[in-house]
Amino acid sequence: MLETSADGPFVTGKVRLVHAVGMHARPAVKLTKLAKRFQAQISVRASEAADWINAKSVAKVMALRAPRDSIIEIKAHGDDAEAAVAALIDLVATDFPDAGS
């Protein structure tokens, strides 16, 4: 999905959190680590919360406390924004598999 705003184009996506206990510590670490691989500015929010948070801040992602079945929205802005959103959606949709690194 492509959405445009005053700051330029944003790539956005939504995914349902299937993890049994929601967005707790380990998923938060994995999401943050993956987000950091991209140059794009990436924000996430859960269940249409008012505030978007920086997906590269592990403390903030952990504080999301999104329960199971909540909808996680991701938006990114920058050269590799599309790849970033696709990768993060895949991570959440596949229930945060152990990547090995």
Partner 1 sequence: MSDTVGIVIVSHSRDIAKGTADMVRQMVGSEVKVAFCGGDPDGGLGTNVPGIIDAINDAWSTKGVAILVDLGGAETNSEMAVEMLEPERRKMVVVCNAPIVEGAVMAATEAAGGSSLEQVRAVAEELTAG
Active-site residue, from 12, 14, 22, 24? 24
**DSSP letters for 54-93:** ETT-HHHHHTT-PPTTPEEEEEEESTTHHHHHHHHHHHHH
Q: For residues 6 and 87, which CB has a smaller minimum distance to partner 1 in the complex?
A: 87
Minimum distance, C-beta of residue 91 to partner 1, in the bound complex (Å): 14
Interface residue list for partner 1 (CB under 8 A): 25-26, 29, 32-33, 36-37, 56-59, 99-101
d(CA 23, CA 63): 9
**Is the CB of 2 or the CB of 99 nearer to partner 1?**
99
Between 14 and 24, CB nearer to partner 1: 24
Query: Is 77 annotated as catalytic?
Result: no
Contact 32, 79 (CB under 8 A): no
Q: What's the closest the beta carbon of residue 2 comes to partner 1, in angstroms?
A: 26
CB of 59 to partner 1, least distance (A): 5
Tell the burial category of 21 from Cβ atoms under 10 Å away from its Cβ (0-12, 13-18, 19+).
exposed
Residue 94 corresponds to which tokens in the numbers above? 């596949």
Q: Which residues are catalytic?
A: 24
